[in-house]
Amino acid sequence: MPDLRIRAPWIAGALAAGSLLLASGCGEVAKNGDVARGKELFTQRCGACHILENAGTKGVQGPNLDLAFKQSLEDGLGASTIRGVVRKQIALPQGGQMPANLVKGADADAVAAYVASAIGKKGSGGPSGPSGTAKADSSNTVEIPTDPNGQLAFRFKTAEAKAGKVTIKSQNDSSVPHDIALKGGPTGEIVQGGKTSTITANLKPGKQTFYCTVPGHEQAGMKGTLTVK
């Protein structure tokens, strides 16, 4: 009998409840959940609080899910049990500040199925993280788009512009809502689905922090440095 050790306080209690969930047949629903939809929902609703490498999320308010289940997987904990644990935790959170039923029904099944399939796996199908520097064009406009796959990240970690009137545009092609702002203002509109968040400010030479103001997104890594010359 494997030693099913769990690396997060809430998971130990949820394990027994998750096993009951599976025994009742609900685990089969989670098993057949839409994993692609689950990844999208996890990134949008859960990524601001949890680290999960496959999703590219970097939240720190909740457990690092890769680490939380790492030892248990090595000890033989199956994906079906993880699905049940995650599904039960979504419905009846134990510990922390996670609200109950953050996602419901088939969406909750999809998130549980995705997390169970993603634990300990590298991300795929998208960039590994922000890279390069966004530079202003001839009109002193800087384009800093968000990650198109829904990860909580801008495509650039740094940007450059000339002193004076600076316009910053952040196109968001994903369904996860984002905006762009500078510390101390201004703040752009929260957008999604291909729309663009735009801000304009008169800036002096120096460094500014650009970031997303949606709760939890800055903490998850959605920020960077604008150098004004």
DSSP string, 127-162: -SS--SEEE--TTSEEE-PBPTTS-S-BS-SEEEE-
By DSSP bridging, strand 141-143 and strand 206-211 are unpaired
Residues carrying CATH 1.10.760.10, the chain: 9-118
- The architecture in CATH of the region 9-118 reads Orthogonal Bundle (1.10)
We find that the CATH architecture of domain 133-228 is Sandwich (2.60)
Contact between 197 and 191 under an 8 Å Cβ cutoff? The reply is: yes
pLDDT string in tens for the chain (229-residue length) = 333 334 444 455 444 444 433 333 443 434 457 887 888 788 777 877 888 888 878 777 788 888 888 887 888 878 888 888 899 988 888 766 677 878 889 999 989 998 988 888 876 444 445 668 999 999 999 999 998 877 788 999 999 999 999 999 999 998 889 999 999 999 999 999 999 999 999 999 999 999 999 987 887 789 999 999 9
Domain(s) labelled CATH 2.60.40.420 in the chain stretch across 133-228
Return the closest-CA partner of residue 63 out of 178, 71, 177: 71
Read off the pTM: 0.58
Q: Residue 120, Cβ neighbours under 10 Å: how many? A: 14
Q: Outline where the chain has alpha helix (H).
A: 9-23, 26-31, 35-41, 65-74, 79-91, 105-118
